Every structure is written in structure tokens, then in C-alpha cells.
Amino acid sequence: MSEVNFLNGFMVKAPHERAPDFVKCQIALKREDVIKALQEMPDGCDWVNLDVKVSKEGKWYASINDWKPKEKGSAPQSNGATASNDFDDDIPFAPRKD
């Protein structure tokens, strides 16, 4: 598992117990800390994507999503599945016979 990176000054909390259903979380920004953290990011980092998550202990937090696509020309990453054009007849449905 990769290291979790946080955006300094950005906090996420569960919605208040009396909040309406459409309120999904509370987000608090400490302006000075967020601005400083954004200015320290590398050049070419125009967007900062955050994933809002819940820890095993139930605490809400946001982590920086730093996923980047593979460069063109590099080999695709295997997910453990083998690519094959040979199909078994173990499909979970039967073809229609009209």
C-alpha cells in the first residue's frame, strides 16, 4: 500500500448528527496552511485531487490522490489476470435463442 499524503490545513469531518441527508461531510480549510501547501507543490501540478475516506476507527479524512497515468509506450501493468481470447462457457448467463 502506498504512503498516504495529506494536504496541510485541510480537514474533513463526518456530518453533524442532525445534518440533513444531503450533507455528506464537513470540510474545514485553514487558509494560510492550505495556500502554503499548494505553493510548495511541484510545478505542473495544476490540480490537486483529494479522496475523502473513513479510517477503520471511523475518523473521516482526506488524502491527496496522486495517481498518474503510465507514460505512453510503457508496458501496461498487470492486475494478475491473464489476457486471452479463449473463453470458457462459464458465463453467468445463457445466450438468447430467438
Instruction: Indicate whether 81 pLDDT > 60.
Output: no
Cell numbers at 61, concatenated: 479524512
- 8 Å CB contact between 64 and 52: no
Q: pLDDT value at position 7?
A: 94
Q: Which residues does 24 contact at the CB level (< 8 Å), separation at least 6?
A: 15
Q: pLDDT value at position 91?
A: 60
- State the average pLDDT for the chain: 83
Q: 25-60: per-residue pLDDT in tens?
A: 999 999 999 999 999 998 878 889 999 999 999 999
- Looking at the chain, the whole-number percentage of residues with pLDDT higher than 70 is 72
SS3 content of the chain, % helix, strand, coil (to 5): 10, 20, 70
Domain boundaries, given as residue ranges, for the chain: 10-65
